[in-house]
Structure 1
Amino acid sequence: MPVLRPSRLHLTALHVCALLVCALAAPAFAAEPVAPAPPPIADFFDNTVFSDAELSPNGKFLAVRFSNDNKRDRLIVIDLASNATKVVAQFDDRDVNNFQWVNNERLVLDSTDKSIGQGDVVSGPGLFAVNRDGSNFRQLVHVNWAALKQHSVTRITLPPNHFLVRQKGAQASDDVYVVNPQRDGIRENGDTKYVNLIRLNTVTGRTETVNRPGPAQGWLLDHKGEPRLCITVEKNTQTIWYRDPSNNEWRTLASFDAYAGGKDAFTPLAFGPDGTLYVRSDAGKDKQALHTFDLVNKRISAEPLVSLTDYDFNGQLVTSGEKLLGVRYLSDARATVWFDSKMKTLQASIDAALPSTVNLVEPAARPDSPWVLVQSYSDRQPAYYALYNSETGKFIGVGGTHERIVPANMAERELVRLAARDGLPLPAWLTLPNTGSVDKDKRKNLPMVVLVHGGPYVRGNEWGWSADSQFLASRGYAVLEPEFRGSTGFGNKHYKAGWKQWGLKMQDDIADATKWAIAQGIADPKRICIAGASYGGYATLMGLVNDAALYKCGINWVGVTDINLIYTGHWSFASDMTAGYLKYGAPILIGDPDKDAAQLRATSPLQQAARITQPLLLAYGAADKRVPLYHGKKFRDAVIATNPNVEWVVYQEEGHGWALPKNRIDFWGRVEKFLGRHIGTP
């Protein structure tokens, strides 16, 4: 199978020939300037005006989430034949959040409040439905319990603990599905005992609960929108159940360890239009690939449909009508392999018009219209959406996610590959400052930030525009983001090599990537800072312990400071990590608190705090449920006893990251000043 790769040319024009009535203009691109002035912090970290778009099933209408003059996000529908626009949903005190088409005439949406942080959230997303002309608006799920108690009994409205299922199905009725998690205990974040799946009519509010085969944790609809798979978890055993369409009875397809996986493990992806189940599996090899699953004989296909040489398969099916058109996947960047010849030709035409970007083509659910939605991006261009007419070959601009960013002023980003000290291949993302027309040889011996991703058992990043790394590069810093062992997406060997390696070989990988950048002449060895959030914050602190001569300072936000605290917690606040994960998953991936007690003490930043003498910036959210504030407080109290150069900030209303623009801007302003003092250019 050919593996598509994005062009590495740099964006100079978007080739958009018209604008929609909603006045979302395409960005203009200027010639590359000489030593451009750094963009304001807000350009990177403000909320965006335009944030999403989706074609109706017949491709004749476009729904857009958009705000104006920093007001609330609202939902707009555009008639593509007439360019007529209509605001169909907006709230005075909330923002439109997720939305999707129910059918050609009706949409469903939930809400959020972008003006508050996690600590101030007292309501849920709710659920609402509306016709595309703005008529027949009704509330389906309440946003809080108080309102539910006051609501008229003549209206059928579900309690707040019901959430929209983001699976589209056939989009041919007035029905959608919602999930209703049932939690253990009285805590808001108590463990989920099981998740009910409920069919909901968006016009009448009528509901029907789907029979579940056990303690369901996940559901998968088929192409027609019918519940077809259920995933249950009991202790550490995950079972996948199939609902046979011949009798609507559940039967098991497979069982395996929910946390460690195994040779027979797979992840259900989607059902094709013909009922074929597509799954992601390594099939006993190193890399996961896209396979079909034999529902009768209960086995994975011997040969994959899509496999990638250097990456695990991660992607989705692209369908229209009753046809599988292609498969979208992630290698270094996102791309699509088309099985349909017309879509292959269409992709080639769009790529020829937009040669400097990755162009993701989204056809309508039913091929009744010539319009397709195109999302374009590059390392220097934030995501931009446009409509393309396959009959006329014309583009119509829709909107960009960071409209004030000028791509010509942004930095180049590439995936580099190096080797760890034990020979393990290590991918890493390298972003170098844009020096304009200045000699590129001067991009040597730079101050550098080693930015460590969280998780840690996730893929860290991909080729594309990143606010964090682009902001740092705009301030003159090289940015290195290692995909250390334990990161997913690069094969089983790479992933499992990180089990129980917090503060050990995972930390060595980060140091080895840093030393590679020094050896390449990229980084000034005297001006390197390590930084990261969550696990990245943990790795920042352990980097200062293990490799004190390598890193001159550290920035830790919302970071774990002691592995034992993950297990034992603290009286002041409860973590949202589930009991099942702490009992069955964490001991395998991170370390057993009893059997590995000595190792966990040796790799605890809290226990090693006296060894950290470099300047530190520590930032935490007071409402964080993943890494509660006591992690930061305990470490701060320990480190300041021997280190006078510690900066400390708590965002009272924030959780595990910064939801509010004012706090993102404040935090990155602090980062800019901190780096300027300790590794900036004299």
Structure 2
Amino acid sequence: MKKLIAALCVIFTAGLPSSADTADLYGRADGVKWPSLSPTGDLLAVHCSPQGRPSVCIFNIAKGEDVAFIPLGGEVRLQGFYWPSDDYLIINVSTFKSLQTVDGQRDYNFLQALSYDIDENELNVLLNDEGLIIDGQSVVSVLPDDDRHVMLAAVSVNTSQSGHSLGSIRPDRGGTAWSIATFKTRLDNGKSRRARTLLKSTLSAWFDAEGDVVAEIVSPDRSTRRELRSNNRTLFMYDSASANDFAVLGLDQASGKLIIFRDVGDEDGLYFMSLEDGSMEPIRLAGVDVGRANPVRDSYTRSIVGFEYFDGMTQQVFTDPVLSDVLGQLSGALAGKRVNIESWNRDRSKIAISAAEPGRPADYYVFDRGAGALGPIGSAASHLAEAATGQVVTREIRARDGLQVETFLTVPPGRTLEDGPFPTVIMPHGGPEASDGLGYDWWAQALAAEGYLVIQPNFRGSSGYGQDFRNAGFGEFGGKMIDDIADAGAWAVSQGLVAEDAYCVAGASYGGYAALMMGLKDKARSRCLISVNGVTQPFAHVGSFELESETGQYWERYLGLNRFDSEAEQAVISPVARAGEYDQPILILHAENDLVVRTGQARLIASALEGKPGFRSVSLGEADHYMGGSDVRAQVLRETFAFLNENHPAR
């Protein structure tokens, strides 16, 4: 364990680094995160990257020994891991593939669960004997009385027809040959035995700790009508046209009820639903409605034991009394830091936590309840342990129509806002239903280290501010959402924070689109533009998804397709259509394995801007949308700094 921990904890000490040094320093993604304790608590798995790409490291913390290093990366994206027993670790990964199907050439994101055998040092794909499985990660039960098997659910072909080609991944697409089935699957070799095939009309299902169905959503007549059923009783009915307004999140361990999310008017938030009669009641903790929050699940029972929400940093509340007590105890002991519980062993005697403060990488610990001892695991960025990071502060900005927009500002290390004005970069977040906060942001902190003030407005449509604020972004994809970003920039200028009253705008995903739109809507102040994996032609982007799918509905809501009566109206919010209006330097960075914003979006804008002075387009190689590895992050920073040094220098 000492060798590997030492490799993960190298400390850089230097004076003022060059831009190249800053790129390498803040681009490093080789810290630890996602600590996961085995059922006994003797073994600990963490996300690590000692070779610069996402991997898994396993330690025996009872003996202080290294157990395994499992390198991943390349075409495989690491998504998480957990322990069904002390003998096996299940690792969730995704893989990009482009395949010829009955519907033509299609891009797929294959989701797989890998079983790592601790004793044999072997890695096997679960459900490896089942063909046509797109999502093979749905372990619905770890079978508590069986250490050698787990129960998975997957959409699979339910007939023995031959000649079937890969088509839809959903049971309500591509005919009735598709249905949900459960598979009892061996952890030592990934082989499976079909346990049960659900009705063809079943579109999704939820299970108890033993792997038995407790609720399912069915489409009785293959129409848009949906029914939530339990024990052959209909609990709730809705239309799939508004599927995003209703979702089953799982089974609550304490109450034995379903956790339901509703997004309809005053009924917005989380509810308990009775499996007996479908009655619903708002989830309340300490007398307060939980509202919009994410469930925290027990990896052994798969049940919900608490909730977490975002208030600038992640905040947790637990229905499980032991976890609730531990969270309160450690929050008091680590005053000044936001403590969150990451995992626990089966009897809750050992608990892994994270502790973070604004602008700093999180540190991780294991708490031994019996001994009352807190032992360090590592840091999300141990190489920054001795480095000063920029202070992150928040301000409420009033948009032009009066809406309050919370905005986060990262100041160069050792400086305060009173030291302004600063060379400035505005950095809108992706999503767009997401939000920036007080936590460590590698890109923002790297820019701050170079001497920039970084402004990150949570424009309308962002998450974390309630239903009305989120809904205010619907149909404002290239409209008021961009205006909010421009208004944050105008506010900063009015406060004397922005040197030369001009800034560059940089962002990724929707943030990359927003950067390009700022060059059109806030032209006078937007000196240069950086878009990473950004949308450039929103209507072509939405057209790459099935509009009736959850993803299609998501983008349609924000874009508001029915608001546009002509191509001329659509062109107003399209950077590609308005490419001739740009006169600022523009940097486009794009990953080749991006399944969220397809690479074609970068090609469209590159073609439209070709030959313009100051335009540069750079491929990030076989990276994906999320820029998780050290190599791609360092490349993004190097390209960013070179571009800024030429067009908007801070040094």
TM-score norm. by structure 1 comes to 0.78
Of 528, 537, 541, 2:512 maps to 537
The question of 1:176 aligning with 2:150 is answered yes
Quick one: structure 1 residues 60 and 310, their matched pair in 2 at CA, closer, same or farther if it must change by over 3 Å?
A: closer
C-alpha offsets along residues 473-525 of structure 1, whole Å, 9 cap, x if unaligned? Answer: 11111111222122233222112211211221111111111112222332235
Kept in 2: contact 1:232–1:239 (CA 8 A):
yes
Q: Which residue of 2 aligns with 1:87?
A: 68
Does the 8 Å contact 2:462/2:470 carry over to 1?
A: yes
Question: What are the residue-to-residue correspondences of 1:127-166 with 2, within 5 Å?
Answer: 127-134=113-120, 140-142=126-128, 161=134, 163-165=136-138
Kindly tell me: are residues 217 and 78 of structure 1, through their superposed partners in 2, closer, same or farther at Cα, counting changes over 3 Å? farther
Contact 1:77/1:88 (<8 A) preserved: no
Q: Which has the higher contact order (CA 8 A, sep 6+)?
A: 1
Q: 1:289 to 1:163 in 2, by over 3 A?
A: same
Query: 1:448/1:241 Cα in 2 relative to 1: closer, same or farther (>3 Å)?
Result: same
1:592 aligns with 2:561: yes
Q: Paired residue for 1:670, among 602, 627, 639? A: 639
Determine the structure 1 residue equivalent to 2:402. 423
Per-residue deviation at 1:242? 3.6
Distance change >3 Å, CA 217–CA 334, structure 1 → 2: farther
Match for residue 615 of structure 2?
646
- Aligned partner of 1:471 in structure 2 is 446
Q: Does 1:403 align with 2:362?
A: no
User: Secondary structure at the residue paired with 1:102?
Assistant: strand
2 CA distance for matches of 1:128 and 1:320?
17
- Aligned equivalent of 1:360: 340
Structure 2 counterpart SS, 1:359? strand
Alignment partners' CA distance in 1, 2:168 and 2:532: 22
Distance 1:427 1:645, change over 3 A: same
C-alpha distance in 1 between matches for 2:302 and 2:570? 53
Instruction: Provide closer, same or farther for how the CA distance between residues 323 and 317 of structure 1 changes in structure 2, counting only shifts above 3 A.
Output: closer
CA contact (8 A) 2:254 2:319 kept: no
Verify: 1:621 aligned to 2:591, yes or no.
Answer: yes
Which residue pairs with 2:103 in the alignment? none
Counterpart residue type for residue 24 of structure 2: A
Amino acid at match of 1:619: L
- The letter for the 2-side match of 1:207 is R
Partner of 1:53: 35
1:419–1:426 contact (8 Å) kept in structure 2: yes
Find out whether 1:390 has 2:369 as its counterpart.
yes
- C-alpha deviation, 1:547, in angstroms: 1.4
Amino acid at match of 1:387: V
Q: Match for 1:397: what amino acid?
A: P
Alignment of 1:433-582 (within 5 A): 433-435=412-414, 440=416, 443-456=419-432, 458-524=433-499, 526-566=501-541, 575=544, 580=549
Tell me how far 1:529 sits from its aligned partner: 1.0
Cross-structure match for 2:603: 633
Measured in 1, the distance between the counterparts of 2:151 and 2:493 equals 53
> 3-state DSSP class of the match of 2:5?
coil
Instruction: Give the distance between the partners of 2:591 and 2:306, measured in 1 at CA.
Output: 42
Task: Verify the 8 A CA contact 2:365 2:377 in the aligned structure 1.
Answer: yes
Structure-2 change in CA distance of 1:236 and 1:588 (3 Å): farther
Q: Conserved in 2, the CA contact under 8 Å of 1:177 and 1:197? A: no
CA distance in 2, matches of 1:119, 1:660: 22
Instruction: Give yes or no for the alignment of 1:381 onto 2:360.
Output: yes
Give yes or no for contact 2:258–2:272 (8 Å, CA) kept in 1. Answer: yes
Conserved 8 A contact 2:251-2:304: no
Give the match for residue 262 of structure 2.
281
CA positional deviation for 1:30: 12
Provide, for residues 75-98 of structure 1, a one-character-per-residue CA deviation record: whole Å limited to 9, x for no partner: 525152x33443386789998944
The alpha-carbon distance between structure 1 residues 158 and 294, as it changes in their structure 2 partners (threshold 3 A), is same
Contact 1:236 1:584 in 2 (8 A): no
Change (3 A) 1:267 1:422: farther
Q: Percent identity?
A: 20
In 1: Cα distance, 2:540 partner to 2:304 partner: 48
- The letter of the residue matching 1:254 is M
Residue of structure 1 in register with 2:182 after alignment? 198
**Alignment RMSD:** 4.2
Write the letter of the residue equivalent to 1:449: V
Cα distance between partner residues in 1 of 2:77 and 2:299:
27
**C-alpha contact 1:318 1:328 (8 A) present in aligned 2:** no
Whichever residue aligns with residue 599 of structure 1, its letter is E
Mapping of 1:242-321 within 5 angstroms? 242-244=229-231, 249=232, 251-259=234-242, 261=244, 265-281=246-262, 284-285=265-266, 288-301=268-281, 304-305=284-285, 312-316=292-296
C-alpha contact 1:278 1:292 (8 A) present in aligned 2: yes
CA distance change for structure 1 residues 632 and 76 in 2, over 3 Å: closer, same or farther? closer
Residue 228 of structure 2 is aligned to residue 241 of structure 1: yes
One-letter code aligned to 2:405: L
Tell me the secondary structure at the aligned position of residue 535 of structure 2: coil
Q: What are the ranges of 5 or more consecutive residues in structure 2 without an aligned counterpart? A: 100-106, 158-163
Gaps (5+ residues) in structure 1?
Answer: 1-18, 143-155, 569-574
Deviates more, 1:227-236 or 1:173-182: 227-236
In the other structure, the counterpart of 2:81 is 99
Counterpart CA distance in 2 for 1:199 and 1:403 is: 41
> Cα–Cα, structure 1 residues 536 and 283, in superposed 2: closer, same or farther, change >3 Å?
closer
Q: Aligned partner of 2:493: which letter?
A: I
Cα 1:306–1:290 change in 2 (3 A) is farther
Partner-residue secondary structure (3-state), 2:427: strand
| Structure 2 counterpart of 1:656 | 625
Paired letter, 1:609: A
Deviation string 1:659-681 (CA, Å, 9 cap, x unpaired) is 65433322221111211222223
- Residue aligning to 2:411: 432
Paired residues of 1:239 and 1:254 also in contact (CA < 8 A): yes
Equivalent pairs, count: 626
- The answer to which of 345-354 and 554-563 deviates more is 345-354
Partner Cα separation in structure 2 for residue 111 and residue 340 of structure 1? 29
Distance 2:9 2:371 in 1: 22
Cα 1:186–1:306 change in 2 (3 A) is farther
Distance 1:461 1:177, change over 3 A: farther
Residues 290, 306 of structure 1: 8 Å contact kept: no
1:314 & 1:610 partners in 2: Cα distance? 43
1:378-434 Cα deviation digits (max 9, x unpaired): 333323321111232222222223221236511122343222111122122222221
Contact 1:222 1:275 in 2 (8 A): no
Change (3 A) 1:522 1:44: same
Q: Which amino acid aligns with 2:311?
A: S
Aligned counterparts of 2:54 and 2:535: Cα–Cα separation in 1: 34
Q: SS of the residue aligned with 1:301?
A: strand
Structure with greater proportional strand content:
2
Task: Note closer, same or farther for the CA distance 1:660–1:459 as it changes in structure 2 (3 Å cut).
Answer: closer
Deviation readout 1:168-209 (Å, 9 max, x if unpaired):
6664433324344469x9678877736634233325733225
